[in-house]
Amino acid sequence: MPTFARSSDLRGAEFVGADLRGARFVEADLSGVVMRGVQVEGADIDAPFLFDGKSSLRVNGVDVVPLVEAELNRRFPGRADRRAADPDGLRAAWAALERNWAATLESVAAMPAGTVDVSVRGEWSFAQTLRHLVLATDMWLGRAVLEIKQPFHPIGLTDTGTEADGLDMSIFVTVTPSYSEVLEARAGRTAMVREFLASVTSGELAATRMNPHNPEYPETTLSCLHVILNEEWEHHRYAVRDLDAIEAKYDARR
């Protein structure tokens, strides 16, 4: 199967009568792509950045973004509050998020041993997802909001490009931690957010902070918290999606 890597420039390319069945696009920029008379049965699109209030995705002339947003909010109670803008709203939003994760953790605990380390089509495993959220909390609360010089837990899982953020990569573990260690680190970071929100004020939410990835771009405490909430909800959705796929395979074998 041919592979078009990041360096491949296909901008403006035209595909006429091309057979793209089974093709997989990962972290590809498909903005502005026009498809006419296409067969898309069984297509699966995951585009987390659709919900920034600026994007649209039209299928047969219908902008489906509001429809998808409403359905995700129905499936995941509390997700609609991820853009809360005041202290009480943020506290309620975080409490709802913790309830959703608690239910998911309970479901995972009842699944066969090893489930937390299973990867679906190259995606992060459940344990890896939790490790990445540890990093996200450290990045956007510890580094950006609290301005801690070295906020990073060694168990945090970095992604592509993190090295460019000036991180000392030697602080992160090079061996796979146990799931109990992952749960302990994750519990500590969720508690850190909860404790911060417990006393945050409207004035503190408006305080200027530096974007931890691009210091030249200013953020506010509120916008940093919104990043954390979005990261949490999107990765929860990914986790539930993949756990459903894993469970379906288990069921098929019975």
CA dist., res. 239 & res. 229, Å (int):
15
For 172-198, what is each residue's pLDDT tens digit?
Answer: 998 999 999 999 999 999 999 999 999
Q: What is the pLDDT of residues 53-63, one digit of tens each?
A: 778 899 999 99
Whose tokens are 């950045």? That residue is: 49
Contact in structure between 182 and 130 (CB atoms under 8 Å): yes
What are the angstrom distances between the C-alpha of 166 and each of 11, 139, 188, 223?
31, 12, 24, 22
Q: Over the chain (254 residues), what is each successive 10-residue block's mean pLDDT?
A: 75 86 84 89 84 83 92 94 97 98 97 96 95 97 96 89 66 93 98 98 97 92 98 97 93 76
DSSP string, 130-193: HHHHHHHHIIIIIIIIS--SS---TT----TTGGGGT--GGGS-SSPPPHHHHHHHHHHHHHHH
pLDDT recorded at residue 158: 86
- Report the pLDDT value the prediction gives residue 7, as an integer from 0 to 100: 67
For residue 2, what pLDDT is reported?
A: 77
Contacts of 186 (CB under 8 A, 6+ apart): 130, 131, 133, 134
Stated pTM of the model:
0.88
Fold of 84-253: Four Helix Bundle (Hemerythrin (Met), subunit A) (1.20.120)
Domain residue limits, the chain: 84-253
> In this structure, is the dihedral angle defined by the CA atoms of residues 196, 199, 203 and 205, taken in order, positive or negative?
positive
Q: What is the C-alpha separation between 8 and 107, in angstroms, rounded?
A: 41
